[in-house]
């Protein structure tokens, strides 16, 4: 059943040719046949590897890693070597997604150093993404104060964060001189 799920997943994702080759290799491998009929912990790990590999091509990484972990913990501990590539790929993809998806505030602050029309004593106004404000370390020296645009979001902020900023509500990052 697990090998069947793997063959079907490969057929749907990569085509029938690769699925046919995989099916032929699984049928002709003596070790897979003998291991599938015995009730050993390594057999459970083998089934978990097949199910995990079937979920991996469709991007269902959380389920693939969960089944891999169950195969290692409940089955054969040495099978972690077979599951390691799936787990490392999942963690790397998640880390890359988080870094790439949530780094935009830091990218914006890099451009502040090259903003020519703002002078000394300027205020930096931040809109609805105020909670992503990384640190005053990234604010240039010519900015005297960081202020937030009142966008209706009511969350606990410090008193200093309530200073109003006189800019258009549609803008999320601008400079003003008051």
**143 three-class SS:** strand
If one compares 81 and 36, the residue with the highest pLDDT of the two is: 81
How would you classify the pairing of strands 173-176 and 143-148? unpaired
Percent of the chain with pLDDT over 70: 75
Six token digits for residue 87: 């787990």
Strand extents, DSSP E, the chain? 122-126, 143-148, 173-176
Question: What are the sequence ranges of the domains in the chain?
Answer: 2-101, 105-176
What is the C-alpha to C-alpha distance for residues 138 and 122, in angstroms, rounded to an integer?
Answer: 15
Question: pLDDT tens across 44-77, in order?
Answer: 888 899 999 999 888 888 898 899 899 999 988 8
Highest mean pLDDT pick, 14-23, 33-42, 53-62:
14-23
What is the C-alpha to C-alpha distance for residues 88 and 10, in angstroms, rounded to an integer?
Answer: 21
This model's pTM is above 0.75: no
What is the C-alpha to C-alpha distance for residues 81 and 74, in angstroms, rounded to an integer?
Answer: 15
pLDDT score at 39 = 77
CA-based nearest residue to 142, from 176, 105, 106 = 176
Six token digits for residue 67: 């089944």
pLDDT score at 170 = 35
């Amino acid at each position: 059943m697990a090998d069947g799920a793997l063959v079907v997943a490969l057929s749907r994702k990569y085509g029938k040719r690769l699925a046919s080759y995989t099916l032929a290799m699984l049928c002709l491998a003596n070790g897979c046949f003998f291991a599938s009929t015995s009730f050993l912990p390594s057999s459970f790990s083998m089934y978990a590897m097949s199910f995990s590999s079937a979920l991996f091509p469709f991007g269902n990484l959380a389920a693939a890693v969960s089944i891999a972990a169950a195969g290692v913990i409940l089955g054969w501990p040495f099978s972690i070597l077979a599951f390691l590539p799936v787990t490392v790929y999942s963690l790397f993809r998640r880390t890359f997604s988080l870094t790439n998806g949530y780094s935009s505030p830091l990218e914006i602050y890099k451009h502040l150093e090259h903003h020519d029309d703002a002078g000394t004593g300027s205020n930096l106004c931040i809109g609805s993404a105020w909670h992503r404000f990384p640190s005053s370390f990234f604010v240039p020296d010519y900015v005297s104060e960081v202020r937030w645009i009142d966008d209706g979001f009511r969350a606990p902020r410090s008193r200093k964060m309530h200073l109003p900023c006189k800019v258009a509500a549609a803008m999320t990052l601008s400079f003003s001189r008051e």
